[in-house]
Amino acid sequence: MLDFFTIFSKGGLVLWCFQGVRGPAATAPVNALIRSVLLQERGGNNSFTHEALTLKYKLDNQFELVFVVGFQKILTLTYVDKLIDDVHKEFRDKYRNEFQQKGALGLLNGTFDFKDDFMRLLRDAEESSKVQAPTVMKTFEQSLKSQKTVKCMIETRGEKPKEKVKNKKNKGSKKDGTEAVAAPSKASAADKQLSAAGVKEELTKDEILQKNREEFFRRHMKAGEKSRSPKPDAQKEKGKKPRVWDLGNSNAKVLDYSNSATNGSAEACPVEEFDPDMALGDKNREPGRLYDLEYESDDEAEEEKVVQNSSKPSVKKGGLGGMFGMLKGLVGSKSLTRDDMDPVLEKMKDHLIAKNVAAEIAVQLCESVAKKLEGKVMGTFTTVTSTVKQALQEALVQILQPQRRVDVLRDVMDAQRHRRPYVVTFCGVNGVGKSTNLAKISFWLIENGFSVLIAACDTFRAGAVEQLRTHTRRLNALHPPESHGGRTMVQLYEKGYGKDAAGIAMEAISYARNQGFDVVLVDTAGRMQDNAPLMTALAKLIAVNAPDLVLFVGEALVGNEAVDQLVKFNKALADHSMAQTPRLIDGIVLTKFDTIDDKVGAAISMTYITSKPIVFVGTGQTYCDLRSLNAKAVVAALMKA
């Protein structure tokens, strides 16, 4: 039983709707479909699940229509695909002239009744599903097991039975041969025994005892020599000896440099060795401003090539045929088919994969573009390649523009009004640059007038606390308390190594609230997405402390690995959280963006898989090398040949 069937235009006008059962209106699920699938360019699959409903949809790109059917997801309705195809064909054929003359708004202003046609198509679809023969369980004779059994029982003239016979013959011959060989050996042994018995009869008892004693000692000596030979190998110690370093020591306290009494004080690492100009990079920048990511593209040259290629065929035509062909082209009567787009989409897919987009996501993007363009009438003087490329660019820009924009400065000011610190947690795999980009974000927040408390919750990696302490010293050197009315702008909160990270984060947030800090940045240990104990600890930290923002830090160098990391991080946070609505990743920090040239596909992969925005982009080694994502610049780099 269908819950609803609706037909609406891409502009949002509902042309016709059928309500099958009494219940909630179709507005909420259809709006969710538009927000999550149609606007986000995720049309690779024609099915969408919303709460207890399954929605299937079909796009008509020629008349800009969308056909949507909804039913309970616990039901298996085999006729839905046929129904939506039949309704689509019947509706557009019946009202083709009205759409061409008046458009969707003109059809809405008129009076039309499509209910009778729909009910007829629904009955036909249901009857066709009943007419189809139900699947019957195979008999034993039809199964592969019975065929194998029969083949084993019946002997044919095939090669295998012959081989078996040959093998049997060979086995028999081998047995005969072994018996023939064994017979003389037995005979020779018997002869030896007889000859030995004859010799023994000639010797006396003392001589026989002496001879047997000598033979016994001789055998014993041979066995001793054999057992002595492997002794040197057995004495070797198994395994590799551990290397002992000159400065190494088994005592963990000797290697723990997090104590401020040893080398953690300001006197141990003087700030005078730090060069502020090198840390700031560009001197002409505006303090506190987060610049957009920039990229120079060669779109003008590419457009000239497309225009030249598209103008060549029109020059060859002459006479009336060429004139009428030109006028026909101005109107635009060429509609795109799947066969026209497949070669171009295949090249586009390979191009995206070469630019570090995950293979699975590249396939889904091309499928979404194909569904969006199929049946659409091409514009004037446009080629299939340019049309597909433009549609793909629009889809990529739409993906990079998030559903929810994260404005950190606005949220920090809102937390200030409520007299509480704004808490940001950084998580990710090992070696992606969490601590480094945390320091960059701290510098950006300080330049905007906010005080920062850094919570050192990476209690596992050696040197993690020292790294954050060094960043804290350098940030205080760049922004001393004297420049901010005697107020310390950045401070490190740490408890050494081996402690509970969730407890340290809780104490840091409480300390920041008491001391009046505006922002708390929580640094966590790097962990692989498959490590269940560490993912459980991260979920505990987030569940206990409830941070305002959870940022996933990922490298721009990764390809397919980005999908695996984000999916498993989100899944682990959901599985290990005890809350009814688990806290997942809120945004992404993309690091090492300056090392990839134009292979920016990781940005697409991460945003597509999570629907979360890329909040910050790391572009260098200084504190100022932090950018916000510019969707058009990333797409321009991605589409560059």
Structure tokens at 578: 């005890």
Amino acid at 608: Y
Structure tokens at 523: 């640094």
Q: Give the pLDDT confidence score for residue 576 in this predicted structure.
A: 79
The contacts of residue 122 (CB under 8 Å, 6+ apart) are 2, 83
Residue 370: its H or E element: helix 359-373
> Could you tell me how many helices (H) and strands (E) the chain has, helices first?
24, 13
Longest Cα–Cα distance in the chain: 135
Which one of 88-92, 353-357, 420-424, 555-559 scores highest in mean pLDDT? 420-424
pLDDT, tens only, 467-514: 999 999 999 999 998 888 888 999 999 998 888 999 999 999 999 999
**Total count of residues recorded for the chain:** 641
Residue 553: its H or E element: strand 549-555
Q: How confident is the model at residue 200 (pLDDT cuts 50, 70, 90)?
A: very low
Instruction: Tell me: pLDDT of 319 over 60.
Output: no
Q: Give the pLDDT confidence score for residue 436 in this predicted structure.
A: 93
Q: Give the pLDDT confidence score for residue 442 in this predicted structure.
A: 95
Distance in angstroms (rounded) separating the CA atoms of residues 497 and 500:
9
**Parallel, antiparallel, or unpaired for β 422-427 and 47-50?**
unpaired
Nearest CA to 537 out of 547, 524, 546 is that of 524
Distance in angstroms (rounded) separating the CA atoms of residues 534 and 428:
11
Q: Would you kindly state where each structural domain of the chain is located, as residue ranges?
A: 2-131, 142-190, 306-400, 408-639
- Reduced to 3 states (helix: H, G, I; strand: E, B; else coil), residue 242 is coil
Instruction: Tell me: pLDDT of 618 over 80.
Output: yes
Whether 211 contacts 203, CB under 8 Å: yes
Lowest-pLDDT range, 165-169, 220-224, 394-398, 595-599? 165-169
Lowest-pLDDT range, 64-68, 297-301, 396-400, 539-543? 297-301
Q: Give the pLDDT confidence score for residue 331 in this predicted structure.
A: 45
Q: Which CATH number fits domain 2-131: 3.30.450.60, 3.30.1330.10, 3.40.1280.10, 3.40.50.300?
A: 3.30.450.60
Please, what CATH class does the domain formed by 306-400 belong to?
mainly alpha
Beta strands, E only, 399-518:
422-427, 452-457, 490-493
Comparing 282 with 424, which gets the higher pLDDT?
A: 424
Structure tokens at 42: 């995720």
Neighbours of 144 (CB within 10 A): 8
Comparing 368 with 323, which gets the higher pLDDT?
A: 368
Q: Give the pLDDT confidence score for residue 29 in this predicted structure.
A: 87
What single DSSP character describes residue 298? -
Distance in angstroms (rounded) separating the CA atoms of residues 596 and 591:
10
Distance in angstroms (rounded) separating the CA atoms of residues 457 and 508:
10
Lowest-pLDDT range, 93-107, 153-167, 310-324, 602-616? 310-324
Q: How confident is the model at residue 329 (pLDDT cuts 50, 70, 90)?
A: very low
Comparing 147 with 267, which gets the higher pLDDT?
A: 147
Q: Give the pLDDT confidence score for residue 455 in this predicted structure.
A: 95
Order of strands, edge to edge, in the sheet holding 53-60? Answer: 14-19, 2-9, 65-72, 53-60, 47-50
Whether 469 contacts 492, CB under 8 Å: yes
Percent of the chain with pLDDT over 70: 71
Q: Give the pLDDT confidence score for residue 424 in this predicted structure.
A: 96
Lowest-pLDDT range, 266-270, 295-299, 404-408, 627-631? 266-270
Q: Give the pLDDT confidence score for residue 176 in this predicted structure.
A: 47
CA 600 centroid distance within chain: 15
Q: What are phi and psi of 617, to 5 degrees?
A: -130, 125
What is the average pLDDT across 602-630? Answer: 89
Whether 432 contacts 420, CB under 8 Å: no
Topology classification of domain 408-639: Rossmann fold (3.40.50)
**Average pLDDT in the chain:** 77
Whether 498 contacts 256, CB under 8 Å: no
Instruction: Tell me: pLDDT of 466 over 80.
Output: yes
Residue with tokens 């402690």: 499
Residue with tokens 């723990």: 256
Q: Give the pLDDT confidence score for residue 135 in this predicted structure.
A: 63
Instruction: Tell me: pLDDT of 280 over 50.
Output: yes
Q: How confident is the model at residue 99 (pLDDT cuts 50, 70, 90)?
A: confident
Q: How confident is the model at residue 219 (pLDDT cuts 50, 70, 90)?
A: confident
Long-range contact list for 178-182, CB < 8 A, 24+ apart? none
The contacts of residue 515 (CB under 8 Å, 6+ apart) are 453
Whether 519 contacts 421, CB under 8 Å: yes
Whether 501 contacts 545, CB under 8 Å: no
Distance in angstroms (rounded) separating the CA atoms of residues 437 and 553:
9
Q: What are phi and psi of 596, to 5 degrees?
A: -115, 0
Distance in angstroms (rounded) separating the CA atoms of residues 330 and 1:
47
Model's pTM, two decimal places? 0.66
Q: How confident is the model at residue 427 (pLDDT cuts 50, 70, 90)?
A: very high
Beta strands, E only, 402-499:
422-427, 452-457, 490-493
Instruction: Tell me: pLDDT of 209 over 50.
Output: yes
What is the average pLDDT across 603-616? Answer: 89
pLDDT, tens only, 223-276: 655 555 554 544 555 567 666 665 555 555 555 555 555 555 444 445 445 555
What single DSSP character describes residue 35? I
pLDDT, tens only, 505-548: 999 999 999 999 999 999 999 888 888 888 888 988 998 999 99
What is the average pLDDT across 457-472? Answer: 92
